[in-house]
Structure 1
Amino acid sequence: MAAYDEWNRIDEDDDDELQDGAVFEGKRDVILFAIDCSDSMHAMHDDPMYEDVQTSHVLTALEAAIQVQKKKVFTGPNDAVGIMLFNTARTGESIGQGVEIKAGNFLYQPIETISAPKVQELIQLVEAARADPNYLRETFPPLQGNRVAMGDVFTSCNWIMRDGAPKTATKRVFLLTDEDNPHSGPGKDRLTTAARTTLVDLVQAGIVVEPFFISTDEKPFDVSRFYSSVLLPTNIIDDDEEAGVLPEALSITRIEDLLDQMKFREVPKRALFSVPFQLAENLVIGVKGYGLVTVQKKGVYKYFVDLGDRMELAESRTVWLQRGGKEVPKDALLSGMGLGEAAQGKKTQDHIDEEGGVTRVTAAGSKTFYTADEIRSFRTLGLEPQIKLLGFKDPDTLAFEDNVKHSYFIYPDEMAYSGSKRTFSALLKTMEKKKKIGLVLALMRRNATPVFCAMLPQAEQRTEEGIQTEPPGMHLIPLPFADDMRAVPEQFLDAERAPQDLTKKAALFVARLAVKGGYSPDSYPNPALEFHNAQLQASAFREEFDPETFEDLSLPKYDMIHERVGSMMKEWKEALLQDESATVVVAPTTSNRRKAKTEPGAASTSEAEVRRLYENSDLDKLKLDQLKDYLRSKGLSVTGKKADLVDRVSEWLDNHSG
């Protein structure tokens, strides 16, 4: 018989299975860089990273495009990136893609799957620009006179995406410019209206515009002059709230912060599920669910077939064969559990009751088999994917131990049901005002199990500068069932508790070592994963990889720690050594093993007791479990016979006699 999770798993070809991580593999991400090439973007200035080196905003934008593509080589090898330059006088056929675009725009790199040759070509362009400060200005000369209308820029982006991006991909445009008022001449109102209209066309085509506005001391960027009335707001708003106002935080005050800003917008916000949210009878809105925590792993190994002149990716699939080699159709497969030997020759029969229902009757001693639809009904209890509001509770009814799984974050989906944002906003504000949490029954996808969830409201929070720190929405915390909760082991209940004064001394240096501004996972990447990716990147671009240059950002800063709390930690350690309860070792017990009858105090051995026996040469009086527990507490090996353990304890005490 196959394992339980094997026979209970149903493959869904027709339904998009939204499982953590796996759903992202089949959906591609497409990014189109739209870079302004006006005179101000070509202007040279001192490079903030290197001394005696000149750079420009266009050069920095191209370097950012290189870094994004390099990262996607191993994080999203199926994704695609393109580069379009606007406000440039360069004309002629675009490279590799026969799409026609508006005048003043030039498609330098068409939308294609990430590949090392394309990235190396861009690297050569940047290296040539480093050697010759005027190279980019000569290669992509700025347009003289009037600027390109932003409506034409958005239209060109739409056409490029239409011809080059897959229909099911996540499509985004990274807009980089330092001009806050592109339509300063005559016809400003008409051009602004045209830009807003073409941007709506982009959004309807499933394309999101991610702006990166460059602001400097010499040329500050004011979003209220043009872009606040053009770019669409994405926050939850009511009719009485002001719409279309963008925060000033979109402006990049330092061009060297461009890469840091792109890190947060580089990964698309893909929804894990999109389901109806039933608030009451005949009252339904649409919501999308997002995973806030995702485990990042190494890429899956792939198999290739050597065809002599080329290597082809080997595709693997699983089929079931009958005796004779004939493939069994998928809909003909049945699943069952092997509960011992079943009698042969006894089959199931369908029994029709008085109401016309069909019941399958299985003879005694024979196996029962189920179809894929029946197993699905067992798991889903006949429910359709949705979130159903059951009621409201006080926040204090939610215990800390109820959070046993990663929560989901839901946000209204206006495209599914009109008025979802307004209704969701009213519910969110009312729950915040009355200090209530919701209780919902959620089925995230068709091939899932219904779960009860606590729904916590979260209001939007912004800093004084307008930077959003907390988005508005609801957190869905899956609540555990009774069999998900386990009792605390007995040895933990009987464990020694640290004295109050020792706890207070530890709290002093722990508070001073806290990370200011909160913990940011992007600031401390997984060192093993980063080291692996760095080697892959060097191999893909045929670069030499020096392990010594790899920087592990997760390593503690020992010098800073000793400088801040060195004396506090030393004082705490001295107090810890003087506390006798800290040296007590509790022997672990298991429920399926009979406890040996021991004398009082034999289950735990203090440091003082072991040293007393050591000084009297009576360590052999300790039992084997006590010797192992003592060695385990010192981080020493516990293998070998009792005599070996006694010698190991004696050797450790000889070296730590003080």
Structure 2
Amino acid sequence: MPPYDDWNKIDDEEDEELQDMSAYEGKRDVILFCIDCSESMLELREDPNYEDVQTCHVYTALEAAMQIQKKKIISGPNDSVGILLFNTTRKSEANRRQGSEIKRGTFVYQSIAPLNAPKIQELIQLLDAAREDPNKLRDTCPPLTGKRIPLGDVFTSCNWVLRDSAPKIATKRIFLITDSDEPHSGPGGHQLITSARTTLIDLTQAGVTVEPFFISTPEKPFDVSKCYSSILLPNDLEDENDQDQGPAILSESISITRIEDLLSQMRFHEVPKRALFSIPFQFADGFTIGIKGYGLVTEQKKGTYKYFVDLGDRMEVAEVRTVYIDEDRQVEIDKSKIVFGPDLGSATAADEDEDEEESGASGTRAVKAGYRPFYTAEEVRSFRTLGLEPGIKLLGFKDRSELSFEDNIKHSQFIYPDEMTYSGSKRTFSALLKAMIKKKKIGLVLTLTRRNASPIFCALLPQEEKVDEGGWTDPAGFHLIPLPFADDIREAPIQEAFRASDDLKDAARAWIDKLSVKNGTYPPDSYPNPALAYHNAQLQASAFREQYDPDSFEDLTEPKYEMIHKRAGKLLQAWKEAVASDESANVVVATTGSKRKADIAVDEAEIRSKYDAGTLGKLRVDQLKEFLKAKSLQVSGKKAELVERVAEWLDAH
């Protein structure tokens, strides 16, 4: 097995242990839109949203690319986007400068570069012109007639565009948009399919992912089994060498029946699947595979603020850097030379000089009793990690029934095999997953995700691959659930209450069924945070120098009251009347109130003033006892005895 030298790329000591978002913010994302410009894609159709307006699939694809760029310029300003058109006869000097590997029939409309407003405005102007003149796109990118270029050439051009322009450390993806389900229909189609798959494997090994968006219409349904099932790589855990029935069939969910769904599908794939950590998974001594961990739940927040420097003619982003300064010498101190220690009081200068002499003589750090010990940053990190290296170590297995619901006190993470670090990881991972699902077991592991985290015990909950009715797939893998310590769980107080009758439950169930979410799932992408969406809309208008109208903002989370009353208004009214007429709904549970404890604290000066005035008898018994108790005197006896005992103490003091 190859060595695993670079366990983790994150070294920031201030990160949280399990919810580290620096991987999302620091790593760039690169998207190359690869759009088919064939005759069928440029064929004019009636626009479903506007009357007497014609459009085409290329226009919709470019509009989706523009919308993604406008959204990314706010959420990911450091990301890069490019547009490659294929099956077109257009040529340019940019293609020649890219090199001879840019195949004929492909055209780089927008080279991969960081997002900027002028670049997006240029695309907006093209779309506006195409809206006025439906033939504008055909004139801009004339299609190839009578033939199509092989997909292998398309992937080769994409590879060279990404290699020449994309950052080396980035998440690279290709959004392939086409309506042709059989591009290699001519002679030699089998060889072209093999060549395309080989080129795609080269892309995958270079860290590039292909996200297909197949356009299907009622007149021309898209059949993925004709060609693309033999080209695109499967996403399951099965190893290709273990499949006896040929290549896996792609899911029909990637075939878009309605062209309006193209943008919503792209928004779903807009956020890249970035791994939070990449660490080894140790089954036993000498038996290790590689895995990657992903966060399933992440809160989307406003972008980080930046400082700008006014240089007169332009504004430049200020570079923020933290520097440690020696107050005595006013010079910069190397961060690696800083030591840490608890603050136990300051020592005198003579003691410090004596400590330095002893330390220099013996070569060790001598610390006197009562003075603070010092530790280096590496030693402090070792205290936190207990000297362990990042990784997951399998300790054993338990029955699935032993994992309780209340054990999940933090967001779990999802782990998936990493074939690039250890060969055979996917096959071994799949075998363990199937065995645990079959035997209904969970795993118990010791986990350290990063060098600056603390090791914790976690449960490995296996998940089998499932496909729901909507076409979305739950991938196969393990949920890494942090197990709580004993003091993390509190016993819930048991309170008795009146239970609703069966008639009330049926009345409530009637209107709940009418207002349930479609398919029983909640799509978070369809209901964005209104405060965040309003903030981003204003930033977007400012970036493109557009006038923003606050009244045009639509809060998608606001309940649709008219629809609610239309669907379940009568059922809600019947349920409210049933609740009002139910006797148990108007009963209040009697609770015993706790008496407030009287304040018995009495100041000594007040007691002495009453002693001088001869009014000690006006004090209560509990106040006299509290005073005697504070003076370590006897508190037994009647009130007269207590008053006499207090007076004797005051006489003596």
Please say whether Structure 1 and Structure 2 have the same fold, judged by a TM-score greater than 0.5. yes
Aligned mates of 2:307, 2:573 — CA distance in 1: 56
Aligned mates of 1:523, 1:585 — CA distance in 2: 45
Letter of the aligned partner of 1:245 in structure 2?
A: I
Distance of aligned partners of 1:514 and 1:86 in 2 relative to their CA distance in 1, 3 Å threshold: same
Q: Give the conservation status (yes or no) of the 8 Å contact 2:277–2:293.
A: yes
For the pair 1:125 / 2:131, whether they are aligned, the reply is no
Distance of aligned partners of 1:290 and 1:94 in 2 relative to their CA distance in 1, 3 Å threshold: same
**CA positional deviation for 1:168:** 0.5
Q: How big is each residue's C-alpha offset from its partner over 1:110-131, in whole Å with a ceiling of 9 and x where there is no partner?
A: 1111111111100000010010
Q: Give the conservation status (yes or no) of the 8 Å contact 2:238–2:430.
A: yes
Distance of aligned partners of 1:528 and 1:99 in 2 relative to their CA distance in 1, 3 Å threshold: farther
Q: Give the conservation status (yes or no) of the 8 Å contact 2:579–2:585.
A: no
Distance of aligned partners of 1:484 and 1:23 in 2 relative to their CA distance in 1, 3 Å threshold: same
Partner of 1:652: none
Q: Give the conservation status (yes or no) of the 8 Å contact 2:229–2:248.
A: yes
Aligned mates of 1:402, 1:423 — CA distance in 2: 28
Q: How big is each residue's C-alpha offset from its partner over 1:23-49, in whole Å with a ceiling of 9 and x where there is no partner?
A: 222211011111111111000111122
- After TM superposition, list the pairs within 5 Å mapping 1:278-297 onto structure 2: 278-297=282-301
Partner of 1:418: 423
**CA positional deviation for 1:245:** 2.6
Question: 568-577 or 390-399, which moves further after superposition?
Answer: 568-577
Partner of 1:45: 45
Partner of 1:255: 259
Aligned mates of 2:597, 2:582 — CA distance in 1: 32
Q: Give the conservation status (yes or no) of the 8 Å contact 2:23–2:274.
A: no
- After TM superposition, list the pairs within 5 Å mapping 1:443-458 onto structure 2: 443-458=448-463
Partner of 1:520: 523
When the two structures are aligned, how many residues end up with a matched partner?
A: 575
Aligned mates of 1:137, 1:192 — CA distance in 2: 28
Question: 576-585 or 29-38, which moves further after superposition?
Answer: 576-585
Partner of 2:81: 81
- After TM superposition, list the pairs within 5 Å mapping 1:226-237 onto structure 2: 226-237=227-238
**CA positional deviation for 1:481:** 1.5
Letter of the aligned partner of 1:85 in structure 2?
A: L
Aligned mates of 1:234, 1:313 — CA distance in 2: 41
Letter of the aligned partner of 2:389 in structure 1?
A: E
Partner of 1:395: 400
Distance of aligned partners of 1:377 and 1:150 in 2 relative to their CA distance in 1, 3 Å threshold: same
For the pair 1:404 / 2:409, whether they are aligned, the reply is yes
Q: Give the conservation status (yes or no) of the 8 Å contact 1:387–1:441.
A: yes
SS in structure 1 opposite 2:31?
A: strand
**CA positional deviation for 1:335:** 1.2
**CA positional deviation for 1:165:** 0.1
RMSD: 2.9
Structure 1 residue corresponding to 2:466, chosen from 454, 461, 465: 461
Query: TM-score, normalization: structure 2?
Result: 0.82
Distance of aligned partners of 1:36 and 1:240 in 2 relative to their CA distance in 1, 3 Å threshold: closer
Aligned mates of 1:572, 1:440 — CA distance in 2: 52
Partner of 1:653: none
Partner of 2:207: 206
Partner of 1:479: 483
Gaps of 5+ in 1: 1-9, 599-658
**CA positional deviation for 1:249:** 2.1
Q: How big is each residue's C-alpha offset from its partner over 1:243-270, in whole Å with a ceiling of 9 and x where there is no partner?
A: 3431222211111110111111111100
Aligned mates of 2:456, 2:251 — CA distance in 1: 38
Aligned mates of 1:585, 1:176 — CA distance in 2: 66
Query: TM-score, normalization: structure 1?
Result: 0.82
- After TM superposition, list the pairs within 5 Å mapping 1:646-657 onto structure 2: none
For the pair 1:570 / 2:576, whether they are aligned, the reply is yes
Question: 197-206 or 93-102, which moves further after superposition?
Answer: 93-102
**CA positional deviation for 1:463:** 3.9
Aligned mates of 2:562, 2:583 — CA distance in 1: 24
Partner of 1:432: 437
Partner of 1:165: 166
**CA positional deviation for 1:558:** 2.1
- After TM superposition, list the pairs within 5 Å mapping 1:213-612 onto structure 2: 213-238=214-239, 239-240=242-243, 242=245, 243-322=247-326, 323-341=328-346, 345=351, 347=355, 362-463=367-468, 467-486=471-490, 488=492, 493=494, 496=497, 506=508, 509-510=511-512, 512-517=514-519, 518-562=521-565, 563-564=567-568, 565-571=571-577, 573-575=579-581, 579-581=585-587, 595-596=596-597
Percent sequence identity over aligned pairs = 61
**CA positional deviation for 1:92:** 2.2
Q: Which structure is higher in RCO with an 8 Å CA cutoff and minimum separation 6?
A: 2
**CA positional deviation for 1:235:** 1.2
Letter of the aligned partner of 2:273 in structure 1?
A: K
Letter of the aligned partner of 2:72 in structure 1?
A: K
Q: Give the conservation status (yes or no) of the 8 Å contact 1:18–1:273.
A: no
Aligned mates of 1:127, 1:96 — CA distance in 2: 29
Q: Give the conservation status (yes or no) of the 8 Å contact 2:23–2:275.
A: no
Q: Give the conservation status (yes or no) of the 8 Å contact 2:47–2:54.
A: yes
